[in-house]
Amino acid sequence: MLTLIHFDFCPFCQRVRLALGYKNIEFAELPARFYGPEHFRNISGFERLPV
């Protein structure tokens, strides 16, 4: 199963959640705290969300 790390208020994250729901793809949600871009780079290799 996919895990989506996101900010609730981010429009890009909202689009991903909508697309996953539209395509009936199951996923777990993990709200992110902002630790800085280095934290996200360690998770996914990118400095932005959604991951």
Q: What confidence tens digit (pLDDT) does each residue in 7-29 have?
A: 888 898 899 999 999 999 999 99
DSSP character string of 1-51: -EEEEE-TT-HHHHHHHHHHHHTT--EEEEEPP---HHHHHHHHSSSSS--
Q: Are strands 2-6 and 27-31 parallel, antiparallel or unpaired?
A: parallel
Give the residue extent of every domain in the chain. Answer: 2-44
Question: How high is the pLDDT of residue 20?
Answer: 95
> pLDDT confidence of 51, banded at 50, 70, 90?
low
